[in-house]
């Protein structure tokens, strides 16, 4: 895979440890959900290194001092339904006041093409840093369409986060949206003929919500 200036693939020992448990077919729903949340929290810290801060005056027990904070109401989280819901709490641990929108995409089982069926976003989202989240980046179709939907609604500062990604999906998103920073915890080998990531971890939505 080519190197793209807007793609960041983590090489963090703690993430590697947690992903190894996440992949295991014997990992139960509760632990799977907790791991997705924990990995997302680590990724959120890393992906906010370039965030803009504002100066605020704080009074300590000893004196007044100027400190730096992320502006209130400056972050929004948009999960791609349904698996993206599993990552929301991971971002909320860092930004508990972040508003949450939702984008619903489904994939045609024959063509593998994504289709939008739902979009509800917080008021004023165009001025916020938006975290678009989905645990799996496979073909990249859903992510590309969701990013296009956010841009159509005025969003200018978007970060996309996925836990497991295939090279095909990373390349698709990087080329279609070079202005979006793409954060991947783990880059896998390839897609199979059914569009699943290998070695992957199966269907993230099913494993998060116990639907299979």
* Rounded-to-integer distance, Cα 143 and Cα 77, Å: 14
Residue 24 is among the residues annotated as catalytic for this protein: no
Partners of residue 190 on adjacent β-strands: 198
Question: What integer pLDDT is reported at residue 1 of this predicted model?
Answer: 67
Question: What tens digit of pLDDT does each residue of 21-62 get?
Answer: 999 999 999 999 999 999 999 999 989 888 889 999 999 999
* 186 carries an active-site annotation: no
Measured CA to CA, the distance from residue 204 to residue 117 in angstroms comes to 20
| Omega cis (within 30) before 82 | yes
Q: Which of 23, 41, 181, 203 is catalytic?
A: 203
Active-site residue among 49, 50, 60, 111? 111
Q: What is the pLDDT of residues 164-176, one digit of tens each?
A: 999 999 999 999 9
Q: What is the mean pLDDT of the chain?
A: 93
Report d(CA 78, CA 92) in Å as an integer. Answer: 12
Catalytic residue (one of 99, 107, 126, 181): 107
Would the CA dihedral through 9, 186, 182, 55 be positive or negative? negative
HSE (CB half, 13 Å, CA atoms) of 169?
A: 35
- Is 203 among the residues known to form the active site? yes
107 is catalytic: yes
Rounded to an integer, what is the distance from CA 166 to the centroid of its chain? Answer: 15
Average pLDDT estimate for 106-113: 72
85-92 helix and 29-47 helix, angle to the nearest 10 degrees: 50
Question: pLDDT over 70 for what percent of the chain?
Answer: 98
Pairing of strands 54-59, 102-107: unpaired
Q: Is the pLDDT of residue 72 over 90?
A: no
* Dist CA 205 CA 101 (whole Å): 18
* More confident: 21 or 2: 21
- pLDDT at site 105: 80
Confidence of residue 195 (pLDDT cuts 50, 70, 90): confident
Helix and strand counts by DSSP (H, E) for the chain: 6, 13
Q: What is the mean pLDDT of residues 99-111?
A: 84
Domains and CATH numbers, the chain: 7-209 (3.40.50.2020)
112: confidence class by pLDDT, cuts 50, 70, 90: low
Instruction: Report which secondary-structure segment, H or E, holds 109.
Output: none
Mean pLDDT of 100-108: 86
Q: What is the DSSP string of 10-70?
A: ---HHHHHHHHHHH-TT--HHHHHHHHHHHHHHHHHHHTTT---EEEEEE-SS-EEEEEEP
Task: Please answer whether residues 208 and 33 qualify as being in contact, where contact means their C-beta atoms are separated by less than 8 angstroms.
Answer: yes
- Mean pLDDT calculated for residue range 8-12: 90
């Amino acid at each position: 895979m080519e190197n793209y200036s807007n793609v960041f693939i983590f090489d963090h020992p703690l993430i590697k440890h947690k992903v190894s448990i996440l992949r295991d077919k014997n990992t139960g729903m509760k632990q799977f959900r907790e791991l997705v949340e924990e990995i997302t929290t680590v990724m959120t810290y890393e992906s906010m290194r370039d965030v803009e801060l504002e100066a605020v005056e704080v009074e300590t027990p000893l004196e007044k001092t100027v400190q730096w904070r992320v502006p209130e109401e400056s972050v929004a989280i948009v999960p791609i339904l349904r698996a993206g819901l599993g990552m929301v709490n991971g971002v909320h641990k860092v930004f508990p006041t972040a508003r949450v929108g939702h984008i619903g995409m489904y994939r045609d089982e024959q063509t593998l093409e994504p289709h939008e069926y739902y979009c509800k976003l917080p008021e004023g989202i165009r001025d916020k840093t938006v975290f678009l989240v989905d645990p799996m980046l496979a073909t990249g179709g859903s992510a590309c369409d969701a990013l296009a939907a956010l841009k159509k609604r005025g969003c200018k500062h978007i970060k996309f986060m996925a836990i497991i990604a295939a090279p095909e999906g990373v390349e698709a998103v990087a080329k279609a949206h070079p202005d979006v920073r793409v954060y991947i915890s783990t880059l896998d080998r390839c897609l199979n003929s059914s569009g699943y990531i290998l070695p992957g971890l199966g269907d993230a939505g099913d494993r998060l919500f116990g639907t299979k």
